[in-house]
Amino acid sequence: MTVLSTNVSVTYTGSGTVGPFAFTFSISSPAAMTVYVNNTLQSSSAYTIAPVNNNYDNGGSVTMIAPVPNGQPIKLQRSTPLTQTQVYTDNIPQPLNQWENGLDKLTEIVQEIAANQSGSGSGTTSVTAGTGITVTGTGTLTDPYIISTTGAPLSIASFTPGFAAELGQNVINPSFSATYTGAPTSANITNTDAINSPHALTAPFTSATLVGTFSHSAAATVTFTLHASDGISNPTATVTGTWAERIFGGVGASGATSTVTASGTTAVLSTTDALPSAGLGVETVGELFGPYTPSGQCVYLLLSGGTHTFTDNLTGFPFAFNAPIAVTFVNQYGVSLSMFLYQSVNPLTGTFQPKVTS
């Protein structure tokens, strides 16, 4: 055979029939024929192929098993297998048709490469655009593919909530919510306590509940990280959960001792007066307590540190406390803490707002 035609494909428009659809270019074997219907590659079981004059030197025809719908394109395209099927052995005569067949196959492969480069032989695109990706061009030398992203990169607009817990408190199955500037295709949450981590979110990836119990009896922070992706951008966002001791402040009768007990989020003095929670976390310089309005009562603070000095934030004058009393305080979750009970030197009447100065 001599490969005289440079055609490698032919296209028809479906009319509700099965064919046959003729092709006039040569193929090395039936396996070299590919068939596309409506730009979808068909299985070899979807059609039969027949040669002209018992060989494919001058082409043949393809008959579909199912009719091609009206208006849908059907494309017959040669796609020669990139294999070497001839065997040449030293000192053994080789029929010239074996050389001819090998050269024919190489010629057909070269024709197909050239056709694809020029854009005339491509059966389907070899680049598929994903989320946020735009592909332009035909993939030819004169019109190459250009791949670009569309719009702004995906980002996480919000990831909430974090939480603050008292030492020993169990945080069970915490839930989280998220919003995005676009549509992610996947997301998961990890945490530094390695509980139910990583946890995969399901579409639309805006909420999740981590199954497990988070708890610490000493000051600690766990970081929760949301990882999102749209196939291009991979933004992250974090929130934290913290555990800290609770401190207290309020007024009561003078003479309280080191016996202080917990009642939920209040501390009950030996005088039976209750000090409300002043917040979670060790007190810091500049922190304010109150304002309190004692009436012939003392101001009390139950704090972590035992060497503080104070001023009255309302007047700027020093605020005098007796030497703090060491207290072993067992909080509402059974965690034992070393704390200090401050009592104002004198019973007071009026409005006061102690401020930590050192």
219, pLDDT greater than 70: yes
Q: Which of 243, 275, 307 is the C-terminal boundary of a domain?
A: 243
Question: Is residue 257 located within the same domain as residue 216?
Answer: no
The reply to whether 250 and 197 lie within a common domain is no
Host domain of residue 55: 9-118
Task: Say whether pLDDT at 233 is over 80.
Answer: yes
Domain count, the chain: 3
Q: What pLDDT score was predicted for residue 110?
A: 65
Of 113 and 48, more confident: 48
262 with 339, same domain? Answer: yes
For residue 221, the tally of other CB atoms under 10 A from its CB is 13
Of 197, 226, 243, at which residue does a domain stop? 243
Domain boundary, last residue among 216, 243, 270? 243
Kindly state whether residues 194 and 236 are assigned to the same domain.
yes
**Do 170 and 198 reside in the same domain of the chain?**
yes
Q: 97 lies in a domain?
A: yes
CB 154 within 8 A of CB 135: no
Of the two residues 9 and 74, the one the predictor is more confident about is 74
pLDDT tens digits, 100-140: 666 666 666 666 666 655 555 444 444 555 555 677 776 65
Same domain, 194 and 252: no
**Mean pLDDT calculated for residue range 231-255:** 96
Q: Using alpha carbons, list the distances in angstroms from residue 44 to 15, 49, 52, 95.
A: 21, 9, 19, 32
> Quick one: 273 and 230 in the same domain?
no
Whether 274 and 315 share a structural domain: yes
Task: Name, of 22-26, 32-36, 96-100, 242-246, the range with top average pLDDT.
Answer: 242-246
Give yes or no for residue 284 having a pLDDT over 70. yes
Find, among 212, 232, 228, the residue nearest to 147 by Cα.
232
Checking DSSP bridges between strand 163-166 and strand 236-244, what pairing results, if any? parallel
Q: How far is residue 166's CA from residue 335's CA, in Å, rounded to a whole number? A: 10
Q: Does residue 46 contact residue 134 with C-beta atoms inside 8 Å?
A: no
* Residue 128: inside a domain: no
Model-level pTM? 0.60
Residue 82, in any domain of the structure: yes
Average pLDDT, integer, range 66-90: 81
Would you state the pLDDT for residue 357?
97
Q: Mind listing the pLDDT tens digit for each residue in 50-61?
A: 998 888 888 999
Taking only the tens place, the pLDDT of each residue in 289-318 is 999 999 999 999 999 999 999 999 999 999
In this structure, is residue 67 part of a structural domain? yes
Q: What percent of the chain has pLDDT over 70?
A: 80
Q: Over range 278-295, report the average pLDDT.
A: 97
Tens digits of residue pLDDT in 164-214: 999 999 999 999 999 999 999 999 999 999 999 999 999 999 999 999 999
**Banded pLDDT at 69 (limits 50, 70, 90):** very high
